[in-house]
Structure formats: structure tokens, C-alpha cells
Structure 1
Amino acid sequence: MGKARIIFHVDMNSFYASVEQSHNPALKGKAIAIAGNPKERRGIIVTSSYEARHKGIYTTMNVGEALRKCPELILLPPDFPKYRAASKAMFAILRSYSELIEPVSIDEGYLDITEIAQERHPIDIAREIQLRIMNELDLPCSIGIAPNKFLAKTASDMKKPMGITILRKREIQEKLWPLPVIEMHGVGESTAKKLNALKIHTIGELANVDEYIIRQSLGKNGVRLRMRANGEDSREVDPNAIFETKSVGNSTTLPIDETDVDELEKTFFKLSEKVAERLDAKKLCGSTISIQIRDADWHNHSKSKTFQNPVYNKEMIFEEAIKLFHKSWNGAPIRLLGVTVSNVLERKQSVEQLSIFNFEHFAKQEPIYELIDSIEKKFGKGIIQKGVEIDKTSYASKTSFSKDFLEDLKDH
């Protein structure tokens, strides 16, 4: 049996706001917030300083509401190059301790310190990392220490800002089980409602529910959540996991609560176009199209459809998005729309399934494939490729900021 793993979850505290305060010390101690577009109604609070949070400001709050609640709030537009540089510097510090780092987003990541913990106590290592990030970058962070990723993530949330928390598996009955399921990492509002309908209200009730019941209601995800509630998580810290794109999507908040079908369809076309551009830039395709609708009362609705053959062109994305929209919209005013293509893979890896619609097309190409096979047998596999890959580094390939910043980390 291998040695017990020791995993850190390092979570930067109020990251964007903290970076702004670090760059401009005059902002320290003040209520500040980063907003997507502070001058428009669509301006939503992206994050805020702890001083602002203490005055009731929270992420996703409308700018107008935030200013009413806290008139002295200082609003700043996001400065992504600044945050990207700070993130790169933070991960460089983590990498000086271990190569087993898994970035989760721009401001958090897992670190497997099992090897170096043989020589130093994990608490000492965590304190040193926390102090280095504060002293070298002037940024606060919290660190969770546990035997697996789920418990480490849970632990880092327990004390903010500047907390260091150990969470052992034997402590979960006392510390986690009494909590409502909505407070468990991996459980959102929708899942919490489904669990509540099964009379599962606490993490302890989830941990002890019959596996058959949870599987029937929530499938594999339910079984996984039940395991997490029991402190079980076998996932390793994988340095390459974050680079695997699983979905490409775009959403937009509308200038007004919209009910005009023409305007809504125009918005869907623009979103589909952007998603197609990003798929093209990354040379990807996907088999599932999803739409998101947020109404004026902040209720979220989503609908999706999975296809036999992967899609990537804007016309098909738009056509299917509109069909999903008309099936799910009840006529209520809409404030946000989104389109996502998921279950993505590289286009050159996708194989279009034969059907009565495309069989004739492939039959015509069969002699070409036979010729390619004979050439490859003679000169080697891969000597001939279908199409020519053109390197497209464009704005479209750089629009998913939370993932694209990780390009920086590839060059360490």
C-alpha cells in the first residue's frame, strides 16, 4: 500500500481585487469591486474586496444595486493582463515546491506535496508558501491541507482570508456532515433541490443514503457526490488536466429585459458565431449544444441536445440553439442568453458516423482512402493528412480567459 497523499488546495483570496490593491496601495482598506462593465446596466460585480463584502457586496450583484448598498464603493474595470501576470507569478512559486501542480483556474490550484512532506511538516510548508505569496506578490491566499482533492478544496474554504486548515478524513462526520448539502463543493442549486426532494438536506444524509436510491435519481454524479460526502476522492493531481478543453461557450447580458423574438434570435446568431469562431481557432468540434436562459427574476433555465456527429459551424449551432430556445422559453423577459458546445474533441480525431444521409458521399471517397492506405503502407503512417492545418492565433482563440491564461504555464 502506498504512502498517504498530502494535497494542498491553494485559493487566492478576492484575487482580482487583491491584485488591484497590490498595484495601487491607496486602494487598500477600501471597498472596491471589479465589474464587467461599470457604466452599463449589464455591469455585474465579478469580485470584490473583503471590505466591500462586509458591506453586503457579492459576486453577480448588479452594479446599480451595489452602489445603492455601498455608495462609497470604488468600481474598477477588469485588467486581465495584470491578473494573468499575478497568476503566473503565483504558480511559479508553487512550482518551486513540486511539479505536481494542477491549476483549476486563474486563482486556484492543487499541489501534491507528498514527497517533500517526508522531510518537513505540511503546516510549515503551507505557512512558507502563504508568506512567500504575500511577501513577494503582496497577495493573500488560503490553503487547505488534506489527503485528497475534495477535502483539500473544502478545507481551503473554511477560513478566509489568509487561512490554513487541515481536514482529516476522520473529522468529516463532525465538521462536514451537519452542514446543508448546498455548502458542499460540487453541489449547486439545481442538485441541492433534487437532493432535498429525496429528503437529503445535510451532507451527512447524503453520505448515508442508499447508493441505489442516489444512482436512480442523479446517476453517476449522485454516486460520486455520495462518495465525496464520505471523504472519498481518488483523483490524482494532474498537471495536464486543465489544458483539456471540455466545452466552448459564450453568453451575454442583454441591455434590457428582452421579449422581442427577433432581437433574441439576433443575439443567438451572434453567440453562435462567436462559439464557431472559437471552435475554429482551437480546431475543435463538439457533439452537444446547450443554451442558457436567465430571466429578469434571475431564474436560470438550460436545455441541450446531443448529436451523433460532432458540429462546429455557426449555421448548425444557431439552428439548433434556436430550436432549443423555442422549446424552453415561456415568454418571460430575458436578461441573459448563452450558447455552449460541449463534449469537444479535436476535429482531426472526430470520425463522422455513416448514415443514410452521408453514405453516398463517403462511398465516393472510398477509392481515395484506399489509395491513401496503400501510400501509408509504403511510406509510413501519417505521411498524408486530410486538409492543411493553419496556425490561427486570433482573438477568438483567446476569449475564454479563465482557461486561456494557462497558455502561460505551458512555457515554465
Structure 2
Amino acid sequence: MKEFYPKKGRVILHVDMNSFYASVEMAYDPELKGKPLAIAGNVEERKGIIITCSYEARKFGVKTTMPLWEAKKLCPNMIIKKPQFDRYRTASVAMFDILREFTDLVEPVSIDEGYLDITESYKLGTPLEIAETIQKRIYDRLDLPCSIGIAPNKFLAKMASDFKKPMGITVLRKRDVPSVLWPLAVEEMHGIGKKTGEKLRSQGIETIKALAEADSIQLKGLLGINGPRLKDRANGFDNRHVDPQSANEFKSIGNSTTLTKDTSNQQELFLTIAELAHKVATRMKRKKVHTKGISITIRYSNRKNFSKSKKLNNPLKSESDLIEVSKELFLQGWDGNPVRLLGITATDLVENNYVAKQLDLFSFEKEAEKEPLWKTIEQLKEKYGTKIIEPASERNGISKSDEDVGTQTSFNKDFLQGK
């Protein structure tokens, strides 16, 4: 079988579960199969929002993030279910266990998708045979459908997996890029969202081909360092490796400061907390992460240290939320004595576009209204890809001086860890 594999290149698969939450519900209750089904927050209220829906519901025009009342107008007989995140995580763990039966080089990128490097798995069959076996095994064991892209790199594999849904397998080679990808609208390219598409179209770049042929300097001026990177992708180039450890990496983002003088003035201490929270929030924006834990450190004038931490029910990233939680922790731990040093640390980090939130119904609605980009995980994957462009409003909130705040960090994709 080795002759079916490249001598120097790689063979990458991208496995993408189809309508994952809805499919899990159908596997759990077979009577739901073949029926229009939607998973939604606040199912009893008109303002509820569709988190995801089955392909049967999509035929009626129902879409992710659509208000529940609007979806019901389009499909009056649609079945509505509340999200069961523990159930989805269990299915996700089982799915990734199956993928690891074919190679150790498995990189989870969200609760329902991941990359495999099967270059050294040639003894198991051709790339197409391995993809077919994976698809069948997931369906037979878990009763869940998936689509798979086969390509020489991550970008092309991701693009390929989107071509045939549900239960599709697509091979996409570099030589196919001009004929298969270039005619597509630029917004259909993985990594390009609505706002980036608008910027590109404003410069006459309307297709992937136009992006592939665009001037790199012009693109950098328009989109920063992401511009030339997107041009490389449009030409089929992507040198990222499949990294099995990326889902387990963990570092925190923290900032501390020694006060100019020891103080027990609460107002001054709160101002310091706000400044530290600003620095942490800025670094989180730049790294595109949320935090699921906050800790605060207090060092008193007698050099005694105190720390207090809190696990969050739902990830947060806004500066105001960081300030609020940090003040709460400070007041719980401060004994009223003069303070010499304060520190704030965001822990248990989750990457923005991979976060699998266990939101209760109320907070799902609240967050969806507050930030459209975060209305659902499904929308992030399907419309923006795994490397989304941050909202313009968020980017504009980072000044030139803010860009220099802090040091390097990484993130912990904890959607599989039950935290």
C-alpha cells in the first residue's frame, strides 16, 4: 500500500461530525431519526436561539443562530430539544478513541472535529480505504455520521471535508486547487469570515483565485500578517503539522504589579485590579482565548502571600467580567492590612473557536445577544473555520501599546476533560 502514499509529503485527514449535537440526540433516541430536529436554548421562549439542527430541518430553511420563533414558522413540526452537553462530550470522547485506532497523530480541534496524519498508516490500507473504514466504524459503533477530507495538508483537508455532507469523503490534492477551489467565492474559504470577506471584496478580491493572485503587500496592509497567510492557503500551501499535544497544552495568562507604596486604600487597590485586568484581557484578545478560572494574589507589607481562585461555570474574556470576578475574589481574601503586591491570573484557558461551552439556557441567550460571533459553536466552524478572524470591534479595542502587554501563552482545549 505504500505506493499510494507520497514519498516526501504527508497524508492528512480532517474528520468533521455532521450536525453533531442533533446527531447525538438521534443516536440516543432513534425515533428522532429522519425528523426535523433542533437543539436550542430557552426552548419555552420565543427569544430562544437555534444552536444546531438536523439536515431534515435545514431543508425547511432552518439555520444555526436563527431565532426559535422564526425557525418554527419555517418548520412548524420541528422537534426542539434542550442541549445535553455531558451526552455530547461522551460521544466526542468515543469518537476520538476510534480515530486513535488508526494513528497516534490525532489532533482534536473542537468537540466534533479533528485532524489525523496517516502518512505512516499505510499498512492499514490506502488513504481512501482508511477514511471509509473510519467513517463506517464511527457510524456502526456510535450511530453518528461524519464527513472526511483527505489532503496533503490541514487546510486542504478541512476544505475537502466541507464539500460533501452528510457522510461524504472527498480527496483534494494541490493540483486540484485551481479547478476546485479558485472558482469559489472568497467567503467560502476556510479562515475567512464575513468581515474579512467584505474587506477583500472592497479591494476587488471576490474569489479564492483572486486572493491567490493578489499582491502580498496589499494583503498585509489590508489584513495584517494574516493577509499573506491567507494567500498561501488560497494557493494550497499549509505547513502546519498535526500536533496530538495541542489539546493538552496548558499555560495561564497573568499580570502582577508591586505597588509604589503599601496601601490599604480600597479605591486605590480596585484601580490597580482594573489595570491588571485590562492587561490580562488584552493578552487574551490577542491570543484568542477565554478563561474558565480566575485567581488573585495578594502580598502584604509583611511579605505574607495570599491567593484565592475561582472556577467559572462559563468561560469569560471581557475586561469588565475579569474586573468583577477579581474584585469579588479580592474582597473575599483581603484582611484589610496594607498590600504591597497584587496579581491576577486567568487559568484553564480555552481557545475562542474551539470552546465547547456548557452553557445553561439563560447564559446561552445572554451571550448570544451580547456577541453574535459567539452565538454557537456550529456557526464558528461552518462559517469561519478553525482559525476565525477576530471581530473588528475586538481588534479595535487593542491599542498599539496594548500589543506589547505580557508574554507568550498557550491554551488548554478542555472540552474532552470534563472540567
Bin for the TM-score computed over the shorter chain: 0.5 to 0.7
Q: 2:187 aligns with which of 163, 182, 188?
A: 182
The one-letter code of the counterpart of 1:248 is H
Where structure 2 has 5 or more consecutive residues not aligned to the other structure, the ranges are 1-5, 251-286, 293-317, 330-343, 351-368, 376-390
Measured in 1, the distance between the counterparts of 2:326 and 2:85 equals: 21
Partner of 2:157: 152
Q: Give the total of aligned pairs.
A: 300
Equivalent position to 1:220, from 216, 221, 225: 225
TM-score w.r.t. length of structure 2: 0.65
**Letter matched to residue 149 of structure 1:** K
Distance across 2 between alignment mates of 1:45 and 1:271: 28
2:409 is equivalent to residue 404 of structure 1: no
Distance 1:275 1:177 in 2: 49
- Tell me what 1:304 maps to: 397
Alignment of 1:11-410 (within 5 A): 11-117=16-122, 120-244=125-249, 246=287, 247-248=289-290, 269=320, 273=324, 282=347, 301-302=393-394, 303-305=396-398, 306=402, 309-310=405-406, 345=409, 403-407=413-417
| Runs of at least 4 residues off by over 4 Å | 267-272, 274-281, 292-295, 298-301, 307-310
Deviation digits for residues 26-61 of structure 1 (CA, Å, limit 9, x no counterpart): 101110101122123542111101100111111111
Question: Quick one: structure 1 residues 276 and 20, their matched pair in 2 at CA, closer, same or farther if it must change by over 3 Å?
Answer: farther
**Per the alignment, in what secondary structure is the counterpart of residue 179 of structure 1?**
coil
What is the distance in 2 between the residues matched to 1:77 and 1:201?
A: 39
User: What code does the residue aligned with 1:38 have?
Assistant: V
Between the aligned partners of 1:155 and 1:116, the Cα distance in structure 2 is 20
Instruction: Give, in whole Å, the separation in 2 of the partners of 1:173 and 1:95.
Output: 33
**Kindly, what percent of the aligned residue pairs are identical?**
52
Contact 1:106 1:403 in 2 (8 A): no
The 1:192–1:79 alpha-carbon spacing in structure 2 relative to 1, beyond 3 Å, is same
Change (3 A) 1:215 1:308: closer
Cα gap change, 1:97/1:275 in structure 2, threshold over 3 Å: closer, same or farther? farther
User: Which deviations, in whole Å up to 9, do the C-alpha atoms of 1:189-247 show, x marking residues without a partner?
Assistant: 11111111111000000001122221222221000000000000000001122344641
Aligned to 1:9: 14
Aligned-pair CA distance for 1:3: 2.0
Q: Distance in 2 between matches of 1:77 and 1:270?
A: 27
* Residues 119-128 or 132-141, more deviating: 119-128
Native 8 Å contact 2:147 2:169 kept in 1: yes
* Residue identity opposite 1:133 in structure 2: I
- The whole-number CA distance in structure 1 between the counterparts of 2:131 and 2:328 is 42
Scaled by the length of structure 1, what TM-score is found?
Answer: 0.66
Q: Is the 8 A contact 1:88 1:408 kept in 2?
A: no
- Note closer, same or farther for the CA distance 1:119–1:92 as it changes in structure 2 (3 Å cut): closer
SS at match of 2:26: helix
Give the gaps of 5 or more residues in structure 1.
Answer: 251-266, 286-291, 311-342, 347-399
